[in-house]
Amino acid sequence: MNATQYVISLPNFEGPLDLLLFFIKRDELDIYDIPISQITEEFLVYTHALQMLDLEQAGEFIVMAATLMQIKAKMLLPKPERGINEEEEEDPRAELVRRLIEYKQYKEIAEQLRNREEENRLVFYRQNFLADERVIEPETPEETLRNVTLFDLLTAFKKAVDRARKRKDIHVVERIAYTVEEQTDYILSIFNQRSQVTFFELIDRLDRMGIIVTMLALLELIKNKFIAFHQDDNFEDILLYKL
């Protein structure tokens, strides 16, 4: 009697947050009230299968599995009685929820930008950077910077697009079609000259489509940990720097 062969086939997820969002969407769960026991069990099953297939890739998932189990353990502990003036303890899931929402926003905007790039690839053009390139002077790093979220970066992106709509080109240049790969090279070339640049310096001379494609390239570089971003203060320009 021949033994039956079983082949494990797993869907591909970009990372542990991507997998959690899949569970939440599939089961129509409330992202603000995640049933941690249920989602932890499913996550562990996937992680165990992934370990058998690709131990190196499973690393991030193992870390998230440990985090989920820690959250689950905290939620099973009896809550101590609060005094009248004592504040209620933060939900153990709060940090996970924040990360999931930020990641979800990233995925949505990245997908919108990809779709828009495909729709307008043959219609919108950018100025010729070789003919119109400006010299960017190096900056001195700020002593104190605060961490900003992806939402802050997307807010700056919206302002840039709105500003581009109102601006009219005052000179004619050779027109070259935008691509994400080209804008990625352009961003990296700037960071070869200096360690940091502000977001609005990066997109200052671009038209609307140029800003969109550059933003898509920027998101990919952030996702792949080539660059990161900070902000001096609320509503200030966002500072991008090379990792």
* Contact between 97 and 20 (Cβ < 8 Å): no
The Cα 132–Cα 173 span in angstroms is 8
Check residue 146 and give its pLDDT: 42
Which residue bears the tokens 């998932």? 61
Pick one of 1.20.120.1760, 1.10.10.580, 3.90.1150.10, 1.10.3720.10 as the CATH number of 124-134+145-242. Answer: 1.10.10.580
Sign of the Cα pseudo-torsion (200, 229, 235, 237, in order): negative
Check residue 141 and give its pLDDT: 38
Domain ranges of the chain: 16-76, 124-134+145-242
Per-residue confidence at 90, pLDDT binned at 50, 70, 90?
A: confident
User: Span 33-53, mean pLDDT?
Assistant: 77
Q: What are the tens digits of pLDDT across the range 142-167?
A: 333 345 555 566 666 666 766 665 65
Check residue 232 and give its pLDDT: 67
Secondary structure of residue 70 in the 3-state scheme: helix
Which residue bears the tokens 């099953």? 45
Per-residue confidence at 69, pLDDT binned at 50, 70, 90?
A: confident
The Cα 164–Cα 212 span in angstroms is 11
Closest CA to 199 of 159, 165, 144: 159
State the burial class of residue 26 (Cβ atoms within 10 Å of its Cβ: 0-12, 13-18, 19+). exposed
The Cα 147–Cα 225 span in angstroms is 15
User: Span 76-93, mean pLDDT?
Assistant: 73
Check residue 122 and give its pLDDT: 53
User: Span 102-120, mean pLDDT?
Assistant: 74
Which residues are paired to 164 by β-bridges? none
Cut 0.75: pTM above it: no
Residues near 19 by beta carbon (within 8 Å), at least 6 away in sequence: 13, 43, 46, 61
Q: What are the tens digits of pLDDT across the range 177-212?
A: 567 888 888 899 999 998 888 888 888 878 777 777
